[in-house]
Amino acid sequence: MSSELWRKFITRTFSSGFKLMSTNSCSKRLLNRLAGEKSPYLLQHATNPVDWYPWGEEAFTKSRNENKPIFLSVGYSTCHWCHVMERESFESDTVAKVLNDHFVSIKVDREERPDVDKVYMTFVQATQGSGGWPMSVFLTPELKPFLGGTYFPPEDSFRSPSFLTILNAVHEQWTKDHDNIKQKMNPLMKALQAAVAGSSSLNPQLPGTACIQKAAEMLADRFDSKYGGFGQSMKFPQPVILDLLLRIYARYPSSEMGDGALASVLFTLEAMSNGGMHDHIGQGFHRYSTDPYWHVPHFEKMLYDQAQLVVTYLSAYQITKDDKFKETAVDILEYVLRDLGDKDGGFYSAEDADSYRCHGDKEKKEGAFCVWTWEEIQSILLDPLPGGDTDKTLADLFSSRFGVKKGGNVRPNQDPHGELINQNVLIIKKSFEELSSEFSLEVEQVKSLLMEAKDRLYKMRAERPKPHRDDKILTAWNGLMVSALSRASQVLGGSEYLERAKSAASFIRDSLYDKEKSVLLRNAYRDENDVLSVSTVEGFADDYAFLIRGLIDLYEASHDPLWLKWALELQEQQDRLFLDIKGEEGEEKGGYFSTSGMDDSILLRMKDGEDGAEPSANSVSAENLLRLSSFFDKSELRSKSENIFKTFNSSMMEHPPAMAALIGAFISYLQKPKQVIIVGLISGDDTQALLSCIHSHFIPNKTLILHDPSSPSPLLMESLPLLKDMIMVDDKATVYLCEDYKCAAPTNSSTVLKDMIQPNN
């Protein structure tokens, strides 16, 4: 927000201006109340001189009793600008003195408490036009927000007042006129509540198919045909957008819209894989690119990005059979299994962008773990290339491949804080074939030499100080990873991915599921003593939705009906906790709230339809309900899915790119349910051959059922009576392709099956 707008906003609310308050230094406490928390983010602030409280009644009571406003700071442990604001402000004795004397300061981990984050982010976005983290909000003792923003700098400038200036202005105005501030907030909160309620009321009509066409057209307009991705500045991976476009291609193959959708996805995926957002040494993907070229990333790595991108790259491989997409999916999986896997089966949340460049350094820098100087590359890869040309070294080959330059390859405007001076962010500049010609080597030699170079650099990099890893194990994000691993086991084969999917699902069932109450828990932590501790925070709608999707995918990969049974049980519990069924007047409602409504400290009960870095809980739930209705022939599940589309009708029609995952689910809804039923022995080679044929194709709206006559599933036999009439023709594994439970002639030929399951047939 500009300085002028900030000053107008504060002046309007706090008419006394910006007079700075004199402060006295306060001594730094060894530990504050956050030392007793489990969240890595909260523990990072446990030694701040700020007297932080966790979100809870102790802080609320203090605020009410002392009539002090609350300063709420929300972030997460791998957030770069959260670290910056901590270093500049929360470690300052001067700032701490003001906060401790005049405010009740609360720290929240947005990944642990997304319910708190969403309420106040809604306020910040409504009043500021945008949001982000760290999020900084001032609240009344009744928890109503009256001023908010994101990162506040330590010094006044033409762009923004300093954090201390804002604190003093808020304190002065609160002291003079706190009753008026409270009164002003009442109509604002009512307006927010009305807006939230109105945006998710049930429309009697389903959205039209025009939302699909409009989504394709709007994304085509935003597509960067030169560099890939959408937009012209910062580039995010946006797997929900890419997945929607692949579904549009599958729904409308051999059409201008479908072909254009596919082309934009494939171009973007290749550009991302070649770019600096892809960690070419340590594998996996960084959070986003700070430029249009996919070159200089924001270096944190998030589990949810890795999980979703695995699925997107696998889908691209199924469509094209191009090995580069498969190799990228494998690359991501290797990173996650190696660096984010917990020994008990779950997966950690993230790795930080910031780290020390060398052991003994006093200040962390963004990307320090991942970047290289030209001199480092020369010293590590000094071997002469084969072929007698001693003027060329492995460093020359590597530098030509990855754009390494003396003096670094980062443009000054991409490095506003000077953290990447003389550094190289690796980005693929030349193909293997181009390098083969340039260095007079065979293509296979080039590949082998570059692999050797990357192995050496990986070992050298491992000696650097590692970035902080957030060891929080979130149910929702682990559900995404169960999906990714299950899909990988189907498309890539082998047992490792399936076993890890089972381990992750088992971990959630054993550690993050309260069997007595039949509720999911939000997260667990692995502490410094290697002890696993589980949060008491119960799961939110996205925890249920993402895990249910993972369990359905796991059933289709493992054919163990116990996972499908648990998915159905969790769906029933999600309905009880989050489904909006009837209004006050008895009118029909639809969609899922993000929260259960049982926590009085959460002022807004919201329904999320728009996707962010992750798909919305309602989008994933709509697809889950369709799939479960197909598995169990339950029309009421399909009706609940239909009501989600009706609830978000207006948004789907008006802002389709923001509703990408829900429109993808809507495409599935518009098609007849497609059941692929294989009757055969689960371990039989003929059964596996049919499964392999199915998994080699991109069929987003299918339901895959394996019926083994030697050990039939009571769950599926009861739900789908047609299974009892399905047999193995000629005692061979046989596939029945059905639409809306009306089946074509069975076949045990993979060739015939291939012709039957082509997209849109």
Radius of gyration from C-alpha coordinates of the chain: 27
pLDDT score of 2 more than 50: no
Q: Are residues 534 and 555 in the same domain?
A: yes
pLDDT tens digits for 428-466?
999 999 999 999 999 999 999 999 999 999 999 999 999
Tell me how far apart the terminal alpha carbons of the chain are, to the nearest angstrom: 52
Q: Are residues 627 and 720 in the same domain?
A: no
Higher pLDDT residue, 729 or 494? 729
- Predicted confidence band at 740 (pLDDT cuts at 50, 70, 90)? confident
Residue 616 lies in a domain: yes
**184-222 burial: b if 16+ Cβ within 10 Å, else e:** ebeeebeebeeebeeebbbbeebbeeebbebbbeebbee
Among 638, 670, 702, residue at a domain's last position: 670
pLDDT score of 94 more than 80: yes
The distance of Cα 220 from the centroid of its chain, to the nearest Å, equals 23
pLDDT score of 761 more than 50: no
CATH of the domain at 249: 1.50.10.10
Number of neighbours of residue 568 by Cβ within 10 angstroms: 20
- pLDDT value at position 670? 96
- pLDDT value at position 389? 57
- pLDDT value at position 396? 97
Residue 159 lies in a domain: yes
Between the CA atoms of 221, 226, 227 and 231, what dihedral angle is there, to the nearest 10 degrees? -30
- Predicted confidence band at 587 (pLDDT cuts at 50, 70, 90)? low
- Predicted confidence band at 370 (pLDDT cuts at 50, 70, 90)? very high
Q: Are residues 745 and 609 in the same domain?
A: no
Residue 615 lies in a domain: yes
Q: Are residues 57 and 166 in the same domain?
A: yes
pLDDT score of 592 more than 80: yes
Q: Are residues 73 and 186 in the same domain?
A: yes
pLDDT score of 616 more than 70: yes
Number of neighbours of residue 481 by Cβ within 10 angstroms: 29
Composition of the chain by helix, strand, coil, percent to 5:
50, 10, 40
Mean per-residue pLDDT over the chain, rounded: 92
Segment among 147-161, 547-561, 745-759 with least mean pLDDT = 745-759
pLDDT tens digits for 482-539?
999 999 999 999 899 999 999 999 999 999 999 999 999 999 999 878 899 999 999 9
Residue 363 lies in a domain: no
Sequence-distant (≥ 6) Cβ neighbours of residue 722 within 8 angstroms: 738, 741, 743
Residue 223 dihedral angles phi and psi, to the nearest 5°: -65, 135
- pLDDT value at position 583? 61
Residue 47 lies in a domain: yes
Name 424's bridge partners: 372
**249-268 burial: b if 16+ Cβ within 10 Å, else e:** bbbbeeeebbebbbebbbbb
Residue 466 lies in a domain: no
- How many domains would you assign to the chain? 4
Q: Are residues 496 and 482 in the same domain?
A: yes
Number of neighbours of residue 271 by Cβ within 10 angstroms: 21
Higher pLDDT residue, 187 or 420? 420
Q: Are residues 143 and 224 in the same domain?
A: no
Number of neighbours of residue 292 by Cβ within 10 angstroms: 16
pLDDT tens digits for 17-68?
322 233 333 344 568 999 999 999 999 999 999 999 999 999 999 999 999 9
Mean pLDDT of 267-295: 98
- Predicted confidence band at 9 (pLDDT cuts at 50, 70, 90)? very low
pLDDT tens digits for 311-326?
999 999 999 999 999 9
Q: Are residues 380 and 255 in the same domain?
A: no
Higher pLDDT residue, 639 or 387? 639
pLDDT score of 741 more than 80: no
Q: Are residues 559 and 586 in the same domain?
A: yes
Q: Are residues 522 and 449 in the same domain?
A: no
Mean pLDDT of 297-309: 98
pLDDT score of 605 more than 50: yes
- pLDDT value at position 30? 62
- pLDDT value at position 23? 34
Residue 360 lies in a domain: no
Domain coverage including residue 64:
3-199
Please choose, from the candidates 442, 303, 332, the residue with its C-alpha nearest in 3D space to the C-alpha of residue 386: 442
Residue 97 lies in a domain: yes
Sequence-distant (≥ 6) Cβ neighbours of residue 192 within 8 angstroms: 122, 123, 126, 604
- pLDDT value at position 127? 87
Q: Are residues 218 and 126 in the same domain?
A: no
Number of neighbours of residue 632 by Cβ within 10 angstroms: 16
Mean pLDDT of 106-126: 95
Burial class (CB in 10 A: 0-12, 13-18, 19+), 183: exposed
- pLDDT value at position 25? 36
Q: Which residue has the tokens 């076949």?
A: 747
CATH of the domain at 141: 3.40.30.10
SS3 535: coil
Q: Are residues 493 and 449 in the same domain?
A: no
Burial class (CB in 10 A: 0-12, 13-18, 19+), 10: buried
- pLDDT value at position 1? 37
Measured distance CA(535)–CA(614) in Å, rounded? 22
Among 649, 670, 691, residue at a domain's last position: 670
Among 175, 199, 223, residue at a domain's last position: 199
